[in-house]
Amino acid sequence: MKQLKGKAYNLNEVIIGKITSKNDLFATKKDLIYVTNNGDFPNGYLAVITSNKDINKGTSRYIENVENIFELHDNDIVTVDPDGKISIVYDINSKHNAIFITERCNSNCIMCPQPPVKQEEDKLNLNLKYISLIDKNAKSIGITGGEPTLIGEKLFDILNAIYNRIPKASINLLSNGIKFENYEYAKRFAQAVKQEIVVDIPLYSDIDTIHNSIVRTNSFYKTIKGMYNLAKFNIKIGIRVVIHKMNYDRLPELSEFIYSNFPFVYHVAFMQMEPMGYAKDNLTDLWIDPVDYNKELEEAVINLHYRDMQVSIYNTQLCLLPEKLRRFAVQSISDWKNIYIDECNNCSKKQECPGFFASSKTVHSKHIKSFNNVENN
Amino acid sequence: MSYQILPYRFERIKENVFLSNEVGEHLYLTSDDFNKFIEHRLEPEEKTFKDLKSKQIIADSHLDDVIEMLAIKYRTKKNFLTESTSLHMIVASLRCNSNCSYCQVSKKDLSDVSFDMTKKTAKKVVEKIFDSPSSNIKIEFQGGEPLLNFEIIKYIIDKAEWTNIFKKKNLEFVICTNLTSIDEKMLKWLKGHKVYISTSIDGPKELHNLNRPLHDIENSYDLVTEKIKLCREYLGRDSVSALMTTTSHTINHFKEIIDKYIELEFDSVFLRSLNPYGFAKRDKHILAYPMNDFIENYKKGLDYIIEINKQGKFFAEGYATILLTRILTPFSTGFVDLQSPAGIAIAGVIYDYDGDVYVSDEGRMLASVGDKKFKIGNVEVNSYQEIFNSAYLHELIENSIAESLPDCATCSYQSYCGADPVRNYSEQGDIIGNRTISEICNKNKSIIKYLLSLLQKNDNEINKVFWSWITRKSF
């Protein structure tokens, strides 16, 4: 997520609050963080963020000398660390807002862009506070990690809080599905869900050994059992397939496997790898130029499309895709890390193109080529 | 390499081997690979190993999980069993104003209302229908010409809808009619109910009139096509579908028949062979043709339809659509003739005008030539349990399970096909039947084989057409 940096005063723990730039006398200020470019310093706010420095406001809580404060908008939600790091956890202008449940994970994927941690502080209260601040008109919210189900029953508290705050929003939960192998957990999860939800689960191969060597745990059949359990309770399931050298060659077989075993899935997404974290560390084992798996990708996408399944291609630049696949490409990269490279400057399709991960700036296909008004096939 | 081989069936086709399993997953191996496979010589790195594993024909670990996945697919494929019985056919009247060459069941005396279903019987029929545990109920009016007893159709639809207020099933109605006697008054009434029309068009005017003349008018074609338009006006564009029956007169004219269906704005045709029942059986020498002639013409007709679709026009062939759904999807199909256990009484059942209950329409037709072998009760005498849970019906069904029938048991097309005891009995005099001389086996195997050969080409254009039929969507 997008982060700003300043110098914090009188801050002993992480706080979370909603941004406002208007000093409204009648507002409940204890959850609001006031942002200012001027010298004003109203009282009663959770904190004040300012671009000024050396403002000396005694025991008040404030963060000064913050650069780029124009990046903060009214109704954004931010966390502030005692060391002055401001993280925009909820960007009012973004469609990709998520609640980050935990950094722990029970998988250890070879291409994980955000490698898991072993220990962390409990995030539950902070997240419940976060949910209570979310814009009431929000149409969607993600739940992500790490592996969100690792907090067990507390995940149901999160679901409950979301329902109380934004009952009409649709939830997108990213999970590896392993925990749902437990029928009782799946059942209690389904009972806790009271609004639209899609649980997106990664399945990297139709062959257990290949999937397991990617997630680096012995979990293929656990994930499958998890999907069946969720399906029993009519929870919508999406399947996510990150493509790299270890699994691209069986994408057509995987598409048939998905249809014949999980015809109930709501959506299947084929995703270009984000070259960050472990993916970057293991790049030589994983990297294949996306153009070089187009044949397999095309067969898989068309297979599912013919079978009346909803299918998308995430994170993939339009110029790399054969023409008949471009309609499946989705602008899926979170705004704050979504970039375009120099070659894109003159491209006539830039507006509709998913573009790149920030981390793809140096690691990307050799075949990026801007569309001009004359079609380049 | 240690792996287990799970149940599968196979057939050698030229230099390749076709393999399929209990849930319809299939693939082709070369003879060499097939030998390696059965001799446990495949290695996990080989593509063939992975392909067989992906289709759950071999397993090298987690056997319980693999079997559970197969079990889920098996339940899905056999799902029609949990929907028993969903198709309920009712003979509203045996009278008919039509004089079709291949029909034997109808009574030609139009004034003899003793062949009409009475309200008393109809009431019992509806009660029986709603005793069915199925959540989907389709009531199909047959004849004779059911519209000649429109009063009973109205009575049954009304009563069924009333009953359904409490039963809350997915209820729909179909009237199988030659349409010649439908009028605006009837249509105005039908408009308020969920009614579909299934009619018969045997081809262009001359062919249709040859197969399906009326008593008093030779040219039934003009009348039917005009009434189709009227039905579409009142009941909606998709409310009317049509069937054709192939006779010796029409067998060489599939192309013209297909063109006519398109001209009449139907989006599918069902190329149907003659059933060996009733008049058709008696007049076999005039109307019948060798099954192989039908099969050859069917293939040509199918090719022609595929070409039409390739030009961008959505137009499906009904039988191929059902078979392709069985071959390519994990789902079960509702078609009663392709089920195992056979669909008799558990997928579809028919109530004759006098309340007699038969396991299928063909069972009723046999009764009309004096053989009541497939009668399982009468709505006025017997309870639902007595009709649908009798030792006799159990015996019929237990002998109609393709998985255990001679030849079917080892047939690699088994999961796409089904058992048809009534047909076996009618052709050969016993419900189990001998597949090597069975016409229906020949037909089904030949058509399935042909469809598989088209699929094996992995031609994107053909696949696209087939999937558009299965999903009823144009891409």
Q: Is A100 on the interface with B (CB under 8 A)?
A: no
Could you tell me the domains of chain B?
Answer: 4-77 (no CATH), 80-378 (3.20.20.70)
The yes-or-no verdict on residue B376 having pLDDT over 90 is yes
For residue B70, which residues of chain A lie inside 8 Å, CB to CB? none
The percentage of residues in chain A with a pLDDT greater than 90, rounded to a whole number, is: 88
B421, B431 Cβ separation under 8 angstroms: yes
For residue A218, which residues of chain B lie inside 8 Å, CB to CB? none
Beta bridge partner(s), residue B26? B20
pLDDT tens, position by position, B50-62: 999 999 999 999 9
The answer to whether B330 contacts A259, with C-beta atoms less than 8 Å apart, is: yes
Q: Is the dihedral of CA B117, B121, B127, B131 positive or negative?
A: negative
Question: Which range (A311-315, B275-279, B283-287) has the least confidence?
Answer: B275-279
Which residue of A224, A225, A253 is in closest CB contact with B51? A253
For residue B23, which residues of chain A lie inside 8 Å, CB to CB? 260
The answer to whether A208 contacts B329, with C-beta atoms less than 8 Å apart, is: no
pLDDT band at A223 (very low <50, low <70, confident <90, very high): very high
State the Cα angle at B468 between B465 and B471, rounded to 5°.
Answer: 150
User: Across all residues in chain B, what is the average pLDDT?
Assistant: 94
Q: Which residues contact A121 (CB under 8 A, 6 or more apart)?
A: none
Distance separating alpha carbons of residues B345 and B68, to the nearest angstrom? 30
Q: Is A323 on the interface with B (CB under 8 A)?
A: no
Q: What does the pLDDT average to over A190-210?
A: 98
Give the pairing of strands B271-272 and B240-245: parallel
The yes-or-no verdict on residue B278 having pLDDT over 80 is no
Nearest CA distance, A306 vs chain B (angstrom): 6
The yes-or-no verdict on residue B356 having pLDDT over 60 is yes
Nearest CA distance, B50 vs chain A (angstrom): 7
Q: What does the pLDDT average to over A67-78?
A: 94
For residue A308, which residues of chain B lie inside 8 Å, CB to CB? 467, 471, 473
Distance separating alpha carbons of residues B229 and A163, to the nearest angstrom? 52
Distance separating alpha carbons of residues B420 and B401, to the nearest angstrom? 9
The yes-or-no verdict on residue A110 having pLDDT over 80 is yes
Nearest CA distance, A300 vs chain B (angstrom): 12
Distance separating alpha carbons of residues A110 and A202, to the nearest angstrom? 13
The domain limits of chain A are 3-86, 98-360
The yes-or-no verdict on residue A377 having pLDDT over 60 is no
The answer to whether B467 contacts A306, with C-beta atoms less than 8 Å apart, is: yes
Q: What does the pLDDT average to over B31-41?
A: 97
For residue B53, which residues of chain A lie inside 8 Å, CB to CB? 207
The answer to whether A257 contacts B54, with C-beta atoms less than 8 Å apart, is: yes
Question: Which residue do the tokens 């079609």 mark?
Answer: A375
The interaxial angle of helices B460-471 and B318-328, nearest 10 deg, is: 100
What's phi and psi for B8, nearest 5 deg? -155, 165
The yes-or-no verdict on residue A352 having pLDDT over 90 is yes
Which residue of B69, B331, B464 is in closest CB contact with A224? B69
In one-letter notation, the amino acid at residue B374 is F
The token duo for B387 is: 């009709």
Nearest to B387 by CA among B344, B431, B341: B344
Closest-CA residue of chain A to B468: A306
Instruction: Label residue A294 exposed, middle or buried (CB < 10 Å: 0-12, 13-18, 19+).
Output: middle
Nearest CA distance, A242 vs chain B (angstrom): 19
The answer to whether B467 contacts A307, with C-beta atoms less than 8 Å apart, is: yes
CB atoms within 10 A of CB A9: 19
Ramachandran area for residue B246 (φ above 0: left; ψ -120 to 50: alpha; else beta): beta
The answer to whether A263 contacts B51, with C-beta atoms less than 8 Å apart, is: no
Which residue of A209, A221, A305 is in closest CB contact with B65? A221
| A interface test, pick of B49, B60, B69, B326 with most A CB neighbours within 10 Å | B69
Closest-CA residue of chain A to B51: A253
Which residue of B53, B62, B475 is in closest CB contact with A306? B475
Distance separating alpha carbons of residues B433 and B423, to the nearest angstrom? 9
The yes-or-no verdict on residue A84 having pLDDT over 70 is yes
Supply the pLDDT for residue B6: 97
A324, A274 Cβ separation under 8 angstroms: no
The token duo for B278 is: 């009733």
Distance separating alpha carbons of residues B19 and B11, to the nearest angstrom? 7
pLDDT tens, position by position, A135-160: 999 999 999 999 999 999 999 999 99
Q: Is A224 on the interface with B (CB under 8 A)?
A: yes
The answer to whether B330 contacts A261, with C-beta atoms less than 8 Å apart, is: yes
The yes-or-no verdict on residue B107 having pLDDT over 70 is yes
pLDDT tens, position by position, B218-273: 899 999 999 999 999 999 999 999 999 999 999 999 999 999 999 999 999 999 99
The answer to whether A253 contacts B473, with C-beta atoms less than 8 Å apart, is: no
Nearest CA distance, A311 vs chain B (angstrom): 14
In one-letter notation, the amino acid at residue A172 is N
The yes-or-no verdict on residue A207 having pLDDT over 80 is yes
Q: Is A167 on the interface with B (CB under 8 A)?
A: no
| B interface test, pick of A255, A261, A302, A305 with most B CB neighbours within 10 Å | A261
Closest-CA residue of chain A to B71: A261
The percentage of residues in chain B with a pLDDT greater than 90, rounded to a whole number, is: 88
The yes-or-no verdict on residue A375 having pLDDT over 60 is no
pLDDT band at B282 (very low <50, low <70, confident <90, very high): low
Closest-CA residue of chain A to B23: A260
The percentage of residues in chain B with a pLDDT greater than 70, rounded to a whole number, is: 98
Matching CATH number, A3-86, of 1.10.150.120, 3.30.1330.60, 3.50.30.10, 3.40.1710.10 = 3.50.30.10
Domain A98-360 = CATH 3.40.50.150: no
Kindly provide the ipTM of the predicted complex, given to two decimals. Answer: 0.94
Question: Which residue do the tokens 């599968």 mark?
Answer: B8
B53, B69 Cβ separation under 8 angstroms: no
